[in-house]
Structure 1
Amino acid sequence: MSEDAAAATRPSPLHDEHVALGATLVPFAGWSMPLRYGSDLAEHTAVRSAAGLFDLSHMAEIWVLGPDAGAFLDRALVGSFAGMAVGRARYTMICVESGAVLDDLIVYRLGDEQYLVVANAANHDPVLAALTERVGDLGVSVEDRTDTTALVAVQGPRALEILQATPGLVVDGLPDLRYYAALEATFEVDGEPLPVLIARTGYTGEDGFELFVDAAATGVPLWRALLAAGEAFGLVPAGLAARDSLRLEAGMPLYGHELDLTVTPYAAGLGRVVKLDKTDADGAPLEFVGRTALYARAHSAPARVLVGLVGDSRRAARQGYDVTTRSGTHVGHVTSGAPSPTLGVPIAMAYVTPEASAEGTELAVDVRGRLEPVHVVPLPFYRRPSA
């Protein structure tokens, strides 16, 4: 990393741990984060077969507090939150008036008047600004706690066993924690039980848990404890490269690739998160930011569709590559692409015209001037084996 790049990034609360483990650090969304610790393939494979430990402290943690918190989020975001049960989480999006996606988010309801909004690191500033601007006269405060929060994730089929084996981590009901839910726990540091929020969401296609803790007091001790406890189960530290290849196999969108300010949730195949039927206290349609445009989009034919592509040759498509018919007529572009370590073939996500989106359609990708054959498949590419 150059001196200029280093100066423009901020360290994770776990920065020294990554250095000690020999991580390759890179600038990412304003942070210095581990790209890999050794082999991308080994880290990816460990998550599929055992577990990986990820530092996600670059993600934005924004709390929405107050008696009108649920009503506010119903108006600020495309989902429905006022009626959400405490302890549950919901995937959603924040859109602009045109219906385009400003960011995709996970919202946790942690109390009657307490919600946690987790946003992508690259969109920390615009999401925080948009939420703050949309408060109006509601009884709500928006608090950015990103700098004081460390977030680590244990992902993989042995994640539950690892958390259960971690000394000092005290949590009731962890095996029964539902997908897209969260609960409170404690982790003992120097004899003192400190709070931990444990969620079960994930971004790899595997089972796993995310642990939100105080960055200064708990981040490093918890990271070390998880790493030590997980060694016997095959856990390894994993970086951004493995996280990206895992989420691609799982067909999960990444902002700046599948989602951006030119895309609506419907184009991304995520129209299900838009709740056009939300109503106000009088039963009238609830006006949330982007509703008019999204209503029109929901009732019109799509101009482009997000699809999965599997390569019929060995050369992988990459972001920005043109997608064509086999005869060379342009039909779209690749948003994400790479060789799949798990499946052993090149995979990609791409936006294509509706006529080219049917499962089994034979297409091509222009890989540095050569048309490589691909065919359309359903997303996700990979589903974890049933328990």
Structure 2
Amino acid sequence: MSSLAGRDSLIFQYSSGVTQATETPLKRTPLHAAHLRAGARMVPFGGWEMPVQYAGVRAEHDAVRTRAGVFDVSHMGEFRVQGPDAERFLQHVTTNDVSKLRPGRGQYNWLPNDSGGLVDDIYIYRVGEQEFLMVVNASNVGKDWAHLQSQTAGYDVELTDESDRWGLLAVQGPQAEALLQPHIDVDLAARKKNAFFPAKLFGFDVFLARTGYTGEDGFEIFTDAGEAETVWDKLLAVGFTPAGLGARDTLRLEAGFPLYGHEFADDIHPLASTYSWVVKDKAHLGREHISLAPPVRLIGLALERVPVREGYPVLLKGERVGHVTSGTSSPTLGHPIAMALVRGDASTADAYEVEVRGKAHAARRMELPFYRRA
């Protein structure tokens, strides 16, 4: 982070309001012991105990932007969808065109509800002609599973929750491919964005997906949960820097990627974002509501000094026109940035203000993403 205040506010975002103390113990990923060995600061997140930082958010952020980092994303959920009607079922419950996927390819997609919002935003990988793997957000696993189960009537499809089967590691950064290549049995350069393929990594059977959530090149590594810790240790040994939730948030915000629960939700029209391409011209659940114009728009804001957080009011000429959905101090740009949902009729102004503890601070609109890899 570019300031101590910005770092503290980001950590507060993860350590409060996300998972309150309850009688239900926090879940742990297969890498929990490895995080403790690495000196991670652990925080509650979506019902899980997760690392927010190791050496520090700024150092981990810079490692991903300039070299390569590795994230534990094993808390994400994985559902197997298979059967004669697997494709037809997915066409019904998602907005993107699953029929365009060939085996060995992945696709960003949405699970719409029937009232104009999203149940979740997801990734779908086509394993075979009648088989798919769906990756969902950690905090939505139970909700997504119930939603999908409720839509299976009339489809010859089998759903399997494989969330406990997989360890999931994300390696990201300009050197990610070069660091992996000596230890894997496939030519990574030949695997383009959104490729999904089996491989042997450090002698372990894994699947890799060339996707990511940081604005950098990289791969998600699906490994057996029981082997995840060994794979993690070997990744650190060959030069990957461990990175936590803090850096993951600053990286994704710079890249303009929405986060479910902030920019997307059950009650937020998803076309407020810049992702209209995810909705294809096909029949799907909730189509009549998603086709309506959104009442708000997602915009980018830049400030000079004061970091802002979710919920802070956005003002235009003294009138409240929206609120911040995500904010941080950008390590790459050197100043605070934020995404905000504002009224459609107020979304094209050049200058706004963000209210922080009763004081208005000047903000200028920036096109998303804030950062794009050259």
Match of 1:262 in 2: 267
Q: Provide the TM-score with structure 2 as the length reference.
A: 0.92
Query: Which residue in the other structure is 2:288 paired with?
Result: 292
Aligned to 1:347: 337
Letter in 1 for 2:296: R
**Contact (CA 8 Å) 1:165, 1:229: kept in 2 or not?**
no
Measured after TM superposition, the shift of residue 310 of structure 1 is 0.7
Where do 5+ consecutive residues of structure 1 fail to align? 279-285
Partner of 1:318: 309
Contact 2:208 2:221 in 1 (8 A): yes
- CA deviation map 1:93-140 (0-9, x unaligned): 101111211110011111111111110001001111111111113121
1:46 counterpart SS class = helix
Cα distance between partner residues in 2 of 1:350 and 1:274 = 22
1:105-124 matched pairs, under 5 angstroms = 105-124=122-141
- Which amino acid is the alignment partner of residue 287 of structure 2? R
Match of 2:362 among 353, 373, 381: 373
Give the aligned partner of residue 225 of structure 1.
234
Cα distance in 1, alignment partners of residues 156 and 35 from structure 2: 41
Deviations 1:16-67 (A, max 9, x none): 1011111111111111111111211100111101011100000011110112
- Equivalences for 1:1-387 in 2 at 5 Å? 8-166=25-183, 169-170=184-185, 172-188=186-202, 193-216=203-226, 218-230=227-239, 235-275=240-280, 277-278=281-282, 286=283, 288-295=284-291, 297=292, 300=293, 302-311=294-303, 313-325=304-316, 327-358=317-348, 361-385=350-374
Q: TM-score, normalised by structure 1?
A: 0.89
Checking the alignment, whether the CA contact within 8 Å between 2:116 and 2:267 is kept in structure 1 is: no
Contact 2:300 2:337 in 1 (8 A): yes
Percent of paired sites with the same residue: 44
Q: Which runs of 5+ in 2 are unaligned?
A: 1-14
SS of residue in 1 equivalent to 2:229: helix
Supply the RMSD in Å over aligned alpha carbons: 1.7
Q: Which runs of 4+ in 1 moved over 2 A?
A: 1-8
Checking the alignment, whether the CA contact within 8 Å between 1:307 and 1:352 is kept in structure 2 is yes
Residue identity in the other structure for 1:52? G
State the match for 1:282 in structure 2.
none
Structure number with greater Rg is 1
Deviations 1:200-236 (A, max 9, x none): 11000001111001101x2111111111112xxxx31
